[in-house]
Structure formats: C-alpha cells, structure tokens
Amino acid sequence: MRTLNTALLLLALVLETATAQRQHFWIVVTHKTGTASLQKSQMFGISERALNRRAKSLPPDRLIDELDVPISESILSQLKQTGVKIRTVSRWLNAVSVEATPEQIQVIYTLPFVARTEPVLRMVHPEPLTAPVEAPVYSKSTDVMGIDYGPSETQLTNMNVVELHALGVNGAGVLIGMLDDGFNNFRTHRALKNIRIIADSDFIHNINDVSIQPWEIASSPGQGNHGSGTLSAVGGFDSGHLIGAAFGASFILAKTEMDSSGSAADFNSEEDTYVAGIEWAERLGADITSSSLGYKQFLSPPTYTTSDMNGKTTKVARVALIASRKGVLVVTAMGNDGFVSGNGTSSQRALSTLISPADADSIISVGAASSDGELASFSGCGPTADGRIKPEVIAQGRGIYWADGTGTTGYTTASGTSCATPLVAGAAALILSAHPELTNMQVRDALMRTTTQRVDGTPETAVYPNNFYGYGFVNAYAAAVSVGPVFSNLPSVTVSDTQLTVSTFVVSNSGILPDSIFLYYRTDNMEYDRVHLLPTGTPNEYQSVIPLFPSDTSVVGYFVLSDSTGKKYKYPSRDSMQYLQRRNFTVPQTYTLLQNYPNPFNTSTTILFSTPETGMFEVTIFNLLGQHVKTLFHGSMQPGSRTLSWNGTDEGGRTLATGIYFALLKAPHGTRSIKLLYLK
C-alpha cells in the first residue's frame, strides 16, 4: 500500500540526483475533504452576491454543490512537503497545478489521494493585431467640452449602446470580471482611474498587483497593456476621448495571461491561471466575465487539436461551462485564426478556426467585424468539433479605440476578436443593468434574438445563424427593450425647499397604458405610499413629486407600470433598492451636458445636464452663426440632474430650418456644448 512516509523517502532519494528542469503539472486528486458541510458558504469563500446570482438560475438546494468544496489543507500540505511549488488550486476540476520536476511528479503520483497527473499545456501566442492611432477616421459626437464619445463613438453607436446611455442606463449594479494580461495604470490613467474596482489579483505570480512587474519588462515589455485596453473599452470614461460601453459597472481584475511580446511565448502558465481566475471571479459574485484570451495551439507534446474544440475537452471550456451553470455570463473571443487567402471569398475562409473556451456551450463567443458590419478576415469561425454554430454574435473588432496602458493619458487602436469581446460584455452589462432580474441565459438569448444581420449576397450571409457571423451584429438597445420596459438606472432627483421632483426615462416595445406609471416610496419602517408619474413633454420621460423628508431619513422606492397588454412591470425588481433621497445619490463630480437623444431628430430631442453643486444655470440653443435661438432653462439648481426637451422651434414657437444647432450650458465655472442635427 502506498504511504506518505514511503513517498517522502523516495522523494529524498530522487532529489539527490534530480537534474530535470522544473515544469508545470496538474495534480488531479481523488477527493477534496470529507468533513465540510455544503451549507457553509462562508467557509467556502462564496460571497452573498454570488449566491444571489446563482439563485436566479439554480434551485435553492443546489446553490452550493460539491464543486464549491475546497481541496483540503491536508492535501495541500502533503503536496508542499514534496518540495513542489503550488501555483493554483481548482475546486471545479478537483486539481492543483504545481511547479515541479518530472521526478517529483513521479513521487507525487504514489500519494494515495492522487488520481492522475498531467502537464499544464504551454500555449503558443499569436502576434496581436494592432493599428496606429492615426489610421482610422472617426466622427466625433461633439465639438467642444461636455460628454463627448470622441473616437470611441463609432464602436458604441453601431451596437446601439449610446441609445441606452441616453436613457440613463450605464451598467450600474453589474459586476464584470476581466481576465487578461494585466491592467497597467488602471488607478492613474485618465480613462480608468474612476472605474469602481472591487478586487484585483495576479494569478501568474500570486500577488495582489495586476500591473507589469519589474522582472517582466525584459521578456514581456507589453505585459498589462492589452488588459488596460479591454478594461477601457467596457468601463472607461474620459469625455472627448473614450467612453466605455458600460461605464457605470463595477469590475474584478484578474491577471491570468502572459503577453505575446518579447520571449513570453515560452511561458507555460495560462491554462491553469485562467481556471483560477474565473473560479475566483465567480465566488466574488461576478455577473459577467470578459476574456480575450484563448487556447488551442500549444507547444507539443501534448497539444489540443481541432477535434478537441468540442466544449468538453479543454480545461478552460469545462470551467467556462461550470461558470455558466452557476449563473455567470461568460463572454470570450473567437480568436484571430480565421484568415482567408486569395481574394477573400467565403470558399477560402477556414472553418473551425475557433479557440477554446469559445467552443464551450451556453456562453457568448464573439467574432470581429469592421465598423460597417463586414466580418473581419481574421475572425475565427465555427463550427465546434461537435457541430455547434459559433460564434454567437459579432461586434466591431477593427480599429477599436482604447486606452494605452503604457502611460496615464494616451490612447491607441487595436484590432482583433479580443477587441470586440469587451464591447459585447459591456452591451450585456447594460441589458442586465436595465433588467437585474434576468439570468445569464436570458441575457444571452436577448442578445442573440435581436442582432442586426448583414446580407451582402455572399454565402456567408445567406442564412442565419451561421459559422461566420453567428446570429449577427449586437444591438444592445433592441436586446434591452425586447425583454420588457427599460427604466433609467437611477432616477433624476432635484430638491426644492418642500419637495423632491423625481424623473425617469421609460421605454417599452409594447407601449405603456396611460396613467399606469407609479412611484412607490416609503421612509424608514413605514408603509409604501404611491404617486402617479406623468409625461413631461420630453420623449420617454415621466415625472412626479414627493415630500422632502429630513436629511437623516432614508427614502426608498420603486417604479411600476403596465404595458398596452396589461402586463405589469416593476423596477427595480426587488423592494427598497432605489434610493430617492438626495443624500443617497451619487453627486456628479463635474458639470456634464450629455449628447442629445435622438440625434439627428425631426420632432423633438432630449438633453440632460448635471451639476455637482448649487448654482445658476442656463441652457440655450444657438444656430451655426452663433445667433440665439431659444433658452431652454434659466434658473437655480441644486446638485443633481435635469432633463430638457427641444422640438426645433425658436422663442416664438416658429419651426426652424433643417440644419446644425448647438446647445450651450452656462455653469458657474465654465460652459459645455453639444452639436444637434435637426431634420424636418
């Protein structure tokens, strides 16, 4: 019978003569522990947020299962006694990855709790696809100050993300786990420094610092820059330069990937670090994960092949599927191996060029397109080895504008399915932000049902879904409204001496019954009261007033409405989640004048501005000659937001000519302006 003492004695003899280089191995164990209770979630480090997310997808008695049980400290201790270095521990795979010599692994295999050992596969990194910042030609949404999408406008407008931003939906309440090569300057870069980061961890070096490390610079000079870019694409905010798709979301940052520059292609860590990163993000409560990495071409032997891209073979596909079953929406890149030859016709595009975990079932695999929706030549294609269609969706992946992680102010452009992936994750976050009651699979279904489908006469677009475009190009706005009415994430609340004025945007595909929108509110431990919300004259905006309560009183509430079919909806879906008292709101950090919506417009358009302090404000419309057209607002405001409407008329109510106009916000410490296009 194998015993620990015998194993340790054998190890001592081996160590005297061992000359082999230390390598990375998986140690799959036969069991984890026999004493832990499946009900002790705190013991397992599973957050309440994770349990709440799981509860949307799983029955109450399966919120915690055997996969959540940690590998026992006794097993880990015995492994350490053999002299190996533990790299990562996977509950879901029932395995530990270690750094060891082959001789040490032979000894470990004799331990009674070891089922098998196998190498951690070494990935061959393809070169990243990049483009110089000067190359793309972009259109800007504004000319001077104020909220300006800048060069990032195109990558958001072609997913109809800006339409949701205009309704006050920005990703608030959603937690996104980013798995990438690190996140340089995420606390100092102008587009990243205000992002809400919940946790960050480097799973390559097992440290709590996700920036490039001094010892990485020589071999991997680009380490951490790709992650800064993907983070900015989904969550960044820098008016005039870059706005992320879900800039109101919160984030978990996991450094799991070695950069492909320099000699880093020889580093063999990524398979196990991805596993550790996604398990960690799930336990912390991530609603969505975004990963731009992938695995297929490894240093041989051994390696994965095309036949292994079946969603069940690779370790990363297996853990992606487990994360999905626990309620996480896994968004990942298809890879950049789909290049065509010759003139680029569909007959020359290689099929089954996807990478793993894009082959996993029940996730969102993302292909890349140009800004006009044409599939990028490099975008990986399906099907999976077992015949499933991939990708699920596509988004712009050519000429994506994002933060340059090498400094604190710069930007650059890049191309690849890794660039399209965070944009889709951001679009998914907006849907979940507008409908927090949805499961991951319901968000996935909404994205796939409402795509924009390109039809260009080629066989690739003849039938949908297909293995090139999947279900089509993401349409975030259509997906959000397809599952029910969309409310603003936070109502606009203004304060007077005696009352709170509460405004919210609401849109519904099924219409809204007249006089059916109510605000239910209550103070501490009191019964709910309700008031009607009435249209303001601004498209999709409704408003009412409630009494002003003492500053030390919490006021919470929610909205309800009935659509034209009589079906009732509630937002948010849980009681007491919407704070209405001004002190409970996030006060704007600066004066903002949001881009009007819609733009262009031909009947009326909505303008929203915010202030961080009390003062006198004026919003005025001017024409191209700088001539005054109409004053939309003039008066005092306390900290908060206000929505305005303009119908293309002057002060006398006369309809103006088609053309370009400007809205100018005059604030106590400066001005902001936006450009409006009026079409009769």
* 198: enclosing H helix or E strand: strand 196-202
Listed residue (305, 339, 283, 307) closest to 49, CA to CA: 283
Instruction: Answer whether residue 107 shows pLDDT above 90.
Output: yes
Instruction: Answer whether residue 394 shows pLDDT above 50.
Output: yes
CB atoms within 10 A of CB 653: 8
Q: What is the pLDDT of residue 108?
A: 94
Q: What is the pLDDT of residue 148?
A: 81
Instruction: Answer whether residue 589 shows pLDDT above 70.
Output: no
Q: Estimate the crossing angle of helix 225-235 against helix 417-434, to 10 degrees.
A: 30
Specify the residue for token string 């000067």. 134
Contact between 386 and 313 (Cβ < 8 Å): no
Q: pLDDT tens digits for 325-358?
A: 999 999 999 998 887 654 444 446 789 999 999 9
Contact between 377 and 415 (Cβ < 8 Å): no
* Tokens (6 digits) for 585: 């709101």
Q: How far apart, in whole angstroms, are the C-alpha atoms of residue 647 and residue 666?
A: 21
Specify the residue for token string 């009674």. 112
Listed residue (635, 522, 633, 623) closest to 581, CA to CA: 522
Structural class in CATH, domain 592-678: mainly beta
| DSSP one-letter string for 39-51 | T-TTTTT--HHHH
The radius of gyration of the chain from alpha carbons, rounded to an integer in Å, stands at 27
Specify the residue for token string 């609401």. 506
Contact between 406 and 413 (Cβ < 8 Å): no
For the chain, residues classed under CATH 2.60.40.1930 are 592-678
For the chain, residues classed under CATH 2.60.40.10 are 486-584
Contact between 379 and 407 (Cβ < 8 Å): no
401 confidence band (pLDDT: 50, 70, 90): very high
Q: What is the percent of the chain where pLDDT is above 90? A: 54
The amino acid at residue 342 is: G
Burial of residue 180, with CB atoms counted within 10 A of its CB: 0-12 exposed, 13-18 middle, 19 or more buried: buried
| Weakest-pLDDT range from 172-181, 601-610, 663-672 | 601-610
| Weakest-pLDDT range from 197-201, 602-606, 623-627 | 602-606
Q: What is the CATH number of domain 140-482?
A: 3.40.50.200
Task: Please tell me which residue, 293 or 370, carries the higher pLDDT value.
Answer: 370
Q: How far apart, in whole angstroms, are the C-alpha atoms of residue 528 and residue 522?
A: 5
CB atoms within 10 A of CB 654: 8
Q: pLDDT tens digits for 220-254?
A: 888 899 999 999 999 999 988 999 999 999 999 99
Q: What is the pLDDT of residue 4?
A: 42
Q: What is the pLDDT of residue 614?
A: 76
Q: How far apart, in whole angstroms, are the C-alpha atoms of residue 581 and residue 552?
A: 9
CATH topology of domain 486-584: Immunoglobulin-like (2.60.40)
Average model confidence (pLDDT) for the chain? 84
In this prediction, residues 312-321 reach a mean pLDDT of 95
The amino acid at residue 357 is: P
Contact between 236 and 247 (Cβ < 8 Å): yes
Task: Please tell me which residue, 207 or 270, carries the higher pLDDT value.
Answer: 207
342-348-349-351 Cα dihedral, nearest 10 degrees: -150
Q: What is the pLDDT of residue 501?
A: 83
267 confidence band (pLDDT: 50, 70, 90): very low
* Tokens (6 digits) for 522: 């209550």
CA angle 370, 372, 374 (to 5 degrees): 55
For the chain, residues classed under CATH 3.40.50.200 are 140-482
Instruction: Tell me if the bond preceding 422 is cis, omega within 30° of 0.
Output: no
Q: What is the pLDDT of residue 391?
A: 98
CA angle 631, 548, 518 (to 5 degrees): 80
Q: pLDDT tens digits for 510-566?
A: 999 988 999 988 877 678 889 999 998 888 889 988 887 766 666 778 899 999 999
Count Cα neighbours of 349 within 13 Å in the Cβ-side half-sphere: 23
Q: What is the pLDDT of residue 311?
A: 95
Contact between 206 and 165 (Cβ < 8 Å): no
CA 358 to chain centre: 16
21 confidence band (pLDDT: 50, 70, 90): confident
Q: What is the pLDDT of residue 490?
A: 73
Instruction: Answer whether residue 48 shows pLDDT above 80.
Output: yes
Q: pLDDT tens digits for 167-209?
A: 889 998 899 999 999 999 999 999 999 899 999 999 999 998 9
Q: What is the pLDDT of residue 583?
A: 34
Task: Report how far apart the first and last C-alpha atoms of the chain are (Å, whole number).
Answer: 88
Q: What is the pLDDT of residue 134?
A: 36
Q: How far apart, in whole angstroms, are the C-alpha atoms of residue 557 and residue 571?
A: 9
Q: pLDDT tens digits for 56-66?
A: 999 998 999 99
Instruction: Answer whether residue 675 shows pLDDT above 70.
Output: yes
CB atoms within 10 A of CB 80: 12
| Weakest-pLDDT range from 91-95, 360-364, 404-408, 653-657 | 653-657
| DSSP one-letter string for 370-399 | -TTSPBPTT------TTS----SEEEE-SS
Contact between 418 and 226 (Cβ < 8 Å): yes
Q: What is the pLDDT of residue 231?
A: 98
